[in-house]
Structure 1
Amino acid sequence: MYVFLSPKTRLSKLVSVLAVILLALQSLVFCPVQAAPLPLQDDTGLEDPAELEAFADGVMNALMKRDHVPGAVLVVVKDGSPFFSKGYGYADVENRIPVDPEQTLFRPGSVSKLFTWTAVMQLVEHGKISLDEDVNTYIDYIIPNTFPEPVTMSHLMTHTPGFEDVGQDLFKLDEENVQTLEEYLKARLPERVFPPGEIGAYSNYGTALAGYIVQRISGMPFEVYVQQNILEPLGMQNSTFQQPLPESLASNMSKGYNFQGGEYVEGGFEFVVGTPAGALSATGADMARFMIAHLQNGQIDGTRILAEETAVQMHEQLFTPDPRFEGMAHGFFRSMVNEKLILSHGGDTFLFHTNMFLIPEDNVGVFISTNGTTGALTAAGMTDAFMDKYYPVEVQGPAQQPSGFQERIGPFLGEYYLARSNFTTFEKVVSILSPVRINMNQEGNLQVSLPGEVSQYVEVEPGLLQDRLEPDNRLLFLAGDEGQHYLIPPVPFTFIKSPWYGTTSFQGLLLIFSLVLFLIAVVRWPITSIVNRKPGERQSAGARSARWLGFLASLVGLVFIIWFILIMLDVHPAYGVPNIFFQNPPGFNILIILPMILAVLSLGMLIFLVIAWVRKYWSVSGRIFYTLLTLAVFVFVWQMVYWNLLF
């Protein structure tokens, strides 16, 4: 959930796709749509709202039609005032209710985090939170001391606390199943898998934890604190973190849609359990006031939510993976886009996709939010078009790879997964569904590939590569002290090179090997035992037991594979993701014990395998098949252990 979308970078789209996949526990029906590039426009300057409207209308209408997005809102602020505000399409398709930027509420997802970080900075300003204090100081449960360095608020704000990713229970579709923030945090405490302050791994849990600290220190529920200390002072009268929405706002909430079978399928209200990480509902007009307040260093219309020095600090760099990257501010993402410093954040729920970015140098802010499952492409396309139109730069021609490049980059070629992954529960399987592959193409360029997206990079400094088409898009390759290889973009989505045994190709081959042997055993043995049986012939009890044990193990393995696939294919029509993300399906408790049963059966098969060769059960070919089947069972059990599916 909740992805950063830096405008004008193809890498941002890559990260967007991966993060949305992670949000959904990675649906097997993932089918990305390639965003078509828009032509570079002549710079006319952001001076005339009417001119901007004509430009935005053309871009938005084209993108929404292409991406099947029913509704969107676009807001631009400049020099302390709203400059442009317009709704596109429908907030309610069935009743033909148009989007109204003043009244229609959208769910901006992780843009909510900026309100959480603003609340944190308010308490920092008042001396109630120290950015460098162990967060255990502020909470009533314990973050384990897995590493010598404690987790601090600075780590939470920069997505470097080192937590593994946890997606289970983050979203619910009905209020009855929603835990309180405290219950959620204590029940879903993730493992610490990286030393704090080192690896950028985007963390919804970390932001929810920061919001809980705000709640405990302020003595009031998080959503109440934000309402009283941020939303109301800013005059954001049509925005709230409350779930469900208060009656006064519920009728203005935009519907969310998934385009399926040539029509829009309506989804319900998405309950975000980790409230501070993404539960905001807001209008475009209200978000304009939030952007203005930050562009004016904490104030709007004479009302301050942050002291000027606090706001300036909040926008300054707090962490960067490399001095050549802008890195993270205190919650904002910093990036150079078309030679402009951008402060930004994006957000995704299942149904809504949002991008917000500020250009402090020009006192400009842009907010775009969409109400369709494919709206991330629309948001990215509009932000790219805006930057190219009003802040164009000349794209330099492709450069040549420097000498020695192939030798330097050789160890980094291979398959990568996001550091924002789960490592200790069954959610780990998500990481194999979104691999990034790094290889050299025939032209000698580094090629970054994922489903539906291929980019080419040229080395500009040792280990630092630049997109051939978009110079702002850079990647850093670093080798760790213990032999790890990292691919690091400017945003906190570090990629880690997979070991050879963890790649999708190797894991896929192992799965196919086991599946084929299971199928042969389940189909062949019952038939051959009947067809080949001779009158009066009787197999030894040991041989019969060995075969039945192999048959049972194969059947258990097949049932698990088929059942798991069916669960992943049981996709919610409105949200476009497997229903298991929202609640465990019927029989799930039986499914999760099948690998344990298989592990026990594998030990029995190993014993019978030895006996079969010693006592010469069956023919030689029969014993060889039993050997292969035993190996297949052990391989499958190992895979279950590797992906944390053996509970």
Structure 2
Amino acid sequence: MDDCTDRATKRSFLAGLGSLGFIAFGTAAGRTSAATDSQNTDPQPGKGPFTDSDEPEAFVDDVMAERIGTTTPGATVAIVSGDTPSLTKGYGAADVDADVPVRADETVFRGGSVGKLVTFTAVMQGVEQGVLDLDTDVNSYLGDSTVTVPDTYDDPVTLRHLGTHTAGFESTLDPDIVADPAALDSLEALLTNQQPSRIRPPGELVGYSNYGAGLAGHVIAEAHDTTFEEYVQSEIFEPLGMTRSTFAQPVPDDQPGNLAAPHVRDGESFLVADDVYINMRPAGSLSATATDMAAFMSAHLGGGAVGDTRILDAETAETIHSRHHVRHPAVTNWRYGFHEYGNPDANLLGHSGATVKFTSYLLLALDHDIGIFVAYNGNPSEGPKAVVDEIVAEFDLQQAPTTPTPTWRSGGQERAETVAGEYSLTHLPQSGPLQVVDLLEHLTVEPADNGRLRTTILEGDGRQWVETVRVRGGGRARCPGLRGYRWRGGRAEYE
């Protein structure tokens, strides 16, 4: 029997869609092996989670040896301890045709939705400067722009809503991925022509939105009278020495570093695939090396600074890392741009990314002063988060979950019947060709014996839930695994 602390109900499906990012198509493959460009410089062995300077490298080498050539042709990894890289290393092939190895300081990987963390860091720079405000109607920043958010509901859409994916836009999943760079459009034109419907009041439910991140990037550009790409280049990448990072699409020919080739699986081997381009740049067109991402993580771990270089005041960095939308205290919630990872009490913040043929994951363990970034130049069913999971477990970066104590209050069966019904994910489109995904992923909730709940997806295996928390007003039973529902047109929406 599963209890209410089991959080796998719907997130495993979302992970298959790029896990809070882009639509991902799985790849895996034959076996090659290489590890290059290692840096391992823990300045204080025995302090923090690493007992000696070689420990993270030895462990990651073993973890990656199981995956290079079978899960992905190549990977890049960065682990930082405060402002010091504990490990930056490339594994496998950047390009299997040219037999080019991955180098942590030279090989550029597409980061996908991990780039949203840069976008929302830029938003907070504007807040710190007094140019932007998290709770002001975003329309007030759009000036003469052709982009306007319609006043569908009484409450306006704000930057806080955009950073927590609670603006209420219908999800489109695809950040306008195109195969031909000639099809790339300006961010303003894209946001104007592809604006999704507002389908729920802002602040109610989480509905992951690439459009919302794109809109945040456009607000940054309008507020600073520049382009989004130029702003992050001058205000984040250059100060942090992230010389091989860019949001530009395509990556300019004169950009330092070498872009890893995308790959797909062909039987037992990998083939180099055609590249694609992310039109909605602030939502996921970041390209960066592991060493560049190490600098970005160190800035967040250092309260907005790395050494003498500061991109945010400490108070602003603390604001980013605090909770901005709470669904339920017992489940993972949203910080600003970051989502919580694993046990919500562990203070671990993360974000994943995928761009069809690249996948990535970034994690900050704030209480341990550790940052982890892993990226693949393939898109397998088991993504880089699995590597992050192993690192988190090996170095005890979060405590083991506690077994909940069921409540034995009377009326449990009646409360279970209150939440019975068909649930629909708020993360998925309700119109267009991808509507079929929403239809296939409805969650059925039925009362079971002794006040328990049984949940199933289509004809899949059911799981049972026990009630562990008190009932809140209005007759709505709340369980950490079944939270935040609203009835819409004869069905419920489920975060």
Question: What is the identity, as a one-letter code, of the residue corresponding to 1:57?
Answer: D
Distance 1:295 1:56 in 2: 21
With CA pairs under 8 Å and 6+ residues apart, which has the higher RCO, 1 or 2? 2
Seen in structure 2, the aligned counterparts of structure 1 residues 418 and 18 have a Cα distance that, compared at 3 Å, is farther
SS at match of 2:259: coil
Identify the residue that residue 272 of structure 1 maps to in structure 2.
Answer: 278
Please tell me whether residue 17 in structure 1 is matched to residue 20 in structure 2: no
Secondary structure class of the residue paired with 1:133: coil
Paired letter, 1:458: V
Shift of 1:270: 2.2
Equivalent residue of 1:269, what SS? coil
Q: Report what 2:107 is aligned to.
A: 104
Structure 2 counterparts to residues 280-295 of structure 1, below 5 A: 280-295=286-301
Of 451, 454, 459, the match for 1:446: 454
Residue in structure 2 matched with residue 577 of structure 1 by the alignment: none
State whether residues 448 and 456 of structure 1, in contact with CA within 8 Å, keep that contact through their aligned partners in structure 2: no
**Secondary structure of the corresponding residue to residue 89 of structure 2:** strand
Q: Tell me how far apart the structure 2 counterparts of residues 277 and 396 of structure 1 sit (CA, whole Å).
A: 36
Contact kept, 8 Å, 2:263 with 2:273, in 1: the verdict is yes
Q: In structure 2, what is the Cα distance between the partners aligned to 1:21 and 1:200?
A: 11
How many angstroms does 1:77 deviate by?
0.5
Q: Does 1:57 align with 2:61?
A: yes
Change (3 A) 1:55 1:248: same
- Cα deviation for residue 113 of structure 1 reads 0.6
Q: Tell me the distance in 2 between the aligned counterparts of 1:453 and 1:286.
A: 43
Structure 2 counterpart of 1:416, one-letter code: Y
Using the TM superposition, name which of 443-452 and 474-483 deviates more. 443-452
SS at match of 1:199: coil
Tell whether 2:46 aligns with 1:46: no
Matched, 1:408 2:411: no
* Runs of 5+ unmatched residues, structure 1: 1-7, 33-43, 466-473, 489-493, 495-647
Whole-Å separation in 2 of the counterparts to 1:251 and 1:83: 22
Q: Secondary structure of the residue that 1:309 maps to in structure 2? A: helix
- Are 1:294 and 1:311, in contact at CA under 8 Å, matched by a contact in 2? yes
TM alignment of 1:78-477, pairs within 5 A = 78-139=81-142, 140=145, 141-167=147-173, 170-249=176-255, 252-325=258-331, 327-335=333-341, 337=343, 339-374=345-380, 377-391=382-396, 393-394=399-400, 402=408, 404-438=411-445, 446-449=454-457, 457-462=465-470, 463-465=477-479, 474-477=480-483
Q: Which structure is higher in helix share?
A: 1
- TM-fit CA distance, 1:167: 4.5
Does structure 1 conserve the Cα–Cα contact (< 8 Å) formed by 2:353 and 2:361? yes
Greater Cα shift, 201-210 or 215-224: 215-224
Distance 1:54 1:450 in 2: 43
Find the aligned partners of 1:451 and 1:103 in 2 and give their Cα distance: 47
Displacement of 1:412 after TM fit?
3.5
How far the C-alpha of 1:209 sits from its partner, in A, is 0.4
Please state how far the C-alpha of 1:250 moved relative to its aligned partner. 7.2
Mapped to 1, the partners of 2:281 and 2:183 lie a distance apart of 14
Measured after TM superposition, the shift of residue 178 of structure 1 is 1.0
The equivalences for 1:16-35 within 5 A come to: 16-19=15-18, 23-24=22-23
Given candidates 78, 86, 100, the residue that maps to 1:75 is 78
CA contact (8 A) 2:294 2:373 kept: yes
Q: CA deviation at 1:414?
A: 4.8
C-alpha distance in structure 1 between counterparts of 2:345 and 2:319, whole Å: 22
RMSD over aligned Cα, in angstroms?
A: 3.2
For 1:252, the aligned partner's letter is N
Report if aligned partners of 2:443, 2:455 keep a CA contact under 8 Å in 1: no
TM-score, normalization by structure 1:
0.65
Counterpart Cα distance in 2 of 1:342 and 1:395 = 14
- Aligned-residue offset at 1:338: 8.3
Work out whether residues 356 and 366 of structure 1, in 8 Å CA contact, stay in contact via their aligned partners in 2: yes
1:438 Cα deviation (Å)? 4.2
1:526-578 residue CA offsets vs partner (Å, 9 max, x unmatched): xxxxxxxxxxxxxxxxxxxxxxxxxxxxxxxxxxxxxxxxxxxxxxxxxxxxx
Q: Distance in 2 between matches of 1:322 and 1:457?
A: 16
Partner residue in 2 for 1:3? none
* Paired residue secondary structure (2:79): strand
- Asked if the contact 1:334/1:342 (under 8 Å) is kept, the reply is yes
The residue type equivalent to 2:74 in the other structure is G
Distance 1:60 1:486, change over 3 A: farther
- Contact 1:449–1:455 at 8 Å: present in 2 too? no
